[in-house]
Amino acid sequence: MTDDSPTAPAKPNGGRARALLPDLTPWRTSRDFRLMWLAGVITTFGSFLTVVALPVQVKDLTGSAAAVGAIGAVELVPLIVFGLYGGALADAMDRKLLINATEAAQGLLAAALLVNTLLPHPEVWLLYVVAALSSALTGLQRPALDAIVQRIVPRDQLAAAASLNALRYQVGAIAGPSVAGLVIAWAGLSWAYTADTVTFAVSVCLGLGLRRSPAAHDAAPPSLRGIAQGARYAWSRKELLGTYAIDMAAMFFAYPAAIFPFLADDLHARWSLGLMYAAGSVGSLLVSLTSGWATRVHRHGRMVVLAAAGWGAAMVFAGWAGEIWLVLLCLAVAGGLDMISGIGRSTMWNQTIPDELRGRLAGIELLSYSVGPQLGQVRSGGVAALTSARTSVWSGGAACVAAVGLLAASLPALMAYDARGAARAPEQTPAAPRTADGVEIG
């Protein structure tokens, strides 16, 4: 019996403090998880350099806010289409190969941005083409990245793996934009694209060290029928359907990033704009750094519902607050609650989805957490235009709380989900010999 069991004696203060820290077991015991985690930190950091540099370059070349906003428009459709296809592809081919091939292609796109920037007259159209292709590659790669975790990490470590992956992302989300601003201001756009290209090269080198992750011997080639099969499975599992629906509702109603510049103006604090964008990531990072408790949670459905409702409530207070520091605090709290919801969703997905469907379901998951923010920015901007920025924020938060409550009431399987009695994702068959770190040999 471990110290984490309900009947274990109370830990001393030092033990309780350590229990709050992230559970590093997946990092220590799984070689492939370590490689993926390190590659993810590096490539996320580099990608955020380009996330900042690309709109800056469009702005410099066109001087048009509409032209900058069009970047998101050209990214949305490829993400939807290739996200679904990438999910089917992840179930039909070696996931290691798919991850490394798309990572290398992303590096070539970063290099194309670098070459374009070095031209005497950079081409604006190429920036949109690269944005669309990069979004398509993300759609192809992300389901394989999500699906492979179930193979390289034991079931009882999936919550810890989700926390560590979230920590990896938040480090990049905070450090990347911060460094990008300095690099662009002092060295220029070309250096940002150069750094991104180098990070992709390093990530591919790490990815080549992963063990093969082949498809099942009876896996069917990607097809619309296969995608539909994944959708039918998701529909049949109401607890999974609930996680998708709640995440979509939370992001649609209460994702106000598009109106942060207007909110800063309303609060007479233009200097705070960068802090508004960073506040959510700071809150998420704090949760990730103290996520040891997540491994002892079993009612992940309730975890998702309560955290999503808390996200909406934090946005209500952010809209009501008249002081910028209170707004930043509310945004940080919202970011932390969103991270808690994300850990719960990821754990449920990995615990219950069969390996042969994992890629296709990961494609659906990709849509649930990427399309919502895109549509949420449209909603928040439209409401702000009709009313005010602050009204858009608090009303969206209130709508989020109401929507989450309705979804929880209509999907009792989500609230009843308990990892201790839930239907488990079956092990791969036939069972393959594994090393001490849980990875298949051969």
User: What pLDDT does 379 receive?
Assistant: 81
How many CB atoms are located within 10 Å of the residue 68 CB? 16
Q: Which residue has the tokens 């609930």?
A: 242
Give yes or no for a contact between 361 and 345, defined as CB atoms under 8 angstroms apart.
Answer: no
Report the distance separating Cα 209 and Cα 215, nearest Å.
18
Cα–Cα distance for residue pair 303/190, rounded to 1 Å: 44
Question: Of 13-22, 84-93, 101-110, where does mean pLDDT reach its minimum?
Answer: 13-22
Q: CA–CA separation, 274 vs 372, rounded Å?
A: 22
pLDDT score for 285: 84
Task: Give the DSSP letter of residue 434.
Answer: B
Among the residue ranges 152-156, 373-377, 419-423, the one predicted with the least confidence is 419-423
* Least confidently predicted of 37-51, 103-117, 185-199, 263-277: 263-277
For residue 430, whether the previous peptide bond is cis, meaning omega lies within 30 degrees of 0, is yes
pLDDT value for 219: 62
pLDDT grade, residue 401 (50/70/90)?
A: very high
**pLDDT confidence of residue 8:** 39
Contacts of 6 (CB under 8 A, 6+ apart): none
d(CA 327, CA 324): 5
Q: What is the pTM of this model?
A: 0.68
- Spatial neighbors of 258 by CB under 8 A, at least 6 apart, are 377, 378, 380, 381
Please choose, from the candidates 162, 184, 197, the residue with its C-alpha nearest in 3D space to the C-alpha of residue 45: 197
The band of 438, judged by pLDDT with boundaries at 50, 70 and 90, is very low
Residue with token string 């040891």: 292
The three-point CA angle 148-153-159 to 5° equals 100
Q: Note the pLDDT of residue 441.
A: 27
pLDDT confidence of residue 218: 59
Q: Pick the more confident residue, 269 or 105.
A: 105
Angle between helices 273-289 and 158-186 (to 10 degrees): 150
Q: Give the pLDDT band (50/70/90) at residue 432.
A: very low
Q: In this model, does residue 3 exceed pLDDT 90?
A: no
Q: How far is CA 46 from the centre of its chain?
A: 16
Per-residue confidence at 424, pLDDT binned at 50, 70, 90?
A: low
410 burial via Cβ count (<10 Å: 0-12, 13-18, 19+) = exposed
Residue 151, pLDDT score: 83
Average pLDDT over residues 228-254: 84
Which pLDDT does position 237 carry in this prediction? 80
The average pLDDT across 173-197 equals 83
Rounded to an integer, what distance in angstroms lies between the CA atom of residue 190 and that of residue 172?
20
Confidence of residue 217 (pLDDT cuts 50, 70, 90): low
The encoded tokens of residue 369 equal: 């957490």
For residue range 60-83, what is the model confidence (pLDDT) as tens digits?
888 775 676 677 778 888 888 888
Q: What's residue 95's pLDDT?
A: 86
Residue 367: C-alpha distances to residues 214, 247, 279, 297 (Å): 24, 10, 24, 26
Structure-model confidence comparison of residues 329 and 146, the more confident one: 329
Say which amino acid occupies 267. L
Does the pLDDT value for residue 425 go beyond 60? no
Q: What are the pLDDT digits (tens) for 42-52?
A: 998 888 888 87
Res 142: pLDDT: 85
Q: Between 65-92 and 124-152, two packed helices, what is the crossing angle to 10 degrees?
A: 30
Give the DSSP per-residue string, 38-90: HHHHHHHHHHHHHHHHHHHHHHHHH--HHHHHHHHHHHHHHHHHHHHHHHHHH
Partnered with residue 440 across adjacent β-strands are 434
The token duo for 230 is: 């994944």
Q: At what angle do helices 95-118 and 65-92 cross, to 10 degrees?
A: 160
